[in-house]
């Protein structure tokens, strides 16, 4: 990544929301890091969380930009089901099989 497009979570990881299996996470960005860089980092964090908590799929519900501090905040829905179709038409992404 380099110093011009760095990302971090500062050890905070996923935080609970008011909905079960729906968690939030902030990906802090620096330099020229934009949404694609933050998306790549959140997918890395999601993959680790899926394995740790034994969820089978996920969907990013929202992504919002915060300017101070510079970060992207994601709301992620996790599921124990393999792959589902949500009412809005967005499908949950299946966990990678290893």
**Residue range 5-60, pLDDT digits in tens:** 788 888 789 999 999 999 999 999 988 888 999 999 999 999 999 999 999 999 99
pLDDT at 6: 84
Rounded CA-CA distance 56/19 in Å is 18
Considering the four listed CATH numbers 3.30.70, 3.40.720, 3.40.50, 3.30.1660, the one that applies to the domain covering 7-85 is 3.30.1660
> Which of 25, 88, 26, 77 has the alpha carbon at shortest distance from 55?
77
pTM: 0.78
pLDDT band, residue 81 (cuts 50/70/90): confident
According to DSSP, residue 20 is labeled T
Residues 52 and 96 sit within 8 Å (Cβ to Cβ): no
Contacts 24+ apart (CB under 8 A), 59-63: 59/86, 59/90, 59/91, 59/92, 59/93, 61/22, 63/35, 63/38, 63/39
């Amino acid at each position: 990544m380099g110093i011009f497009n760095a990302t971090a979570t500062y050890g905070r990881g996923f935080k609970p929301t008011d909905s079960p299996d729906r968690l939030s996470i902030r990906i802090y960005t620096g330099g020229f890091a934009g949404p694609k860089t933050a998306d790549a980092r959140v997918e890395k964090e999601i993959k680790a969380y899926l394995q740790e908590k034994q969820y089978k799929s996920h969907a990013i519900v929202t992504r919002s930009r915060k300017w101070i501090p510079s970060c992207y905040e994601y709301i992620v829905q996790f599921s124990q089901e393999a792959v589902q179709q949500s009412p809005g038409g967005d499908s949950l992404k299946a966990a990678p099989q290893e």
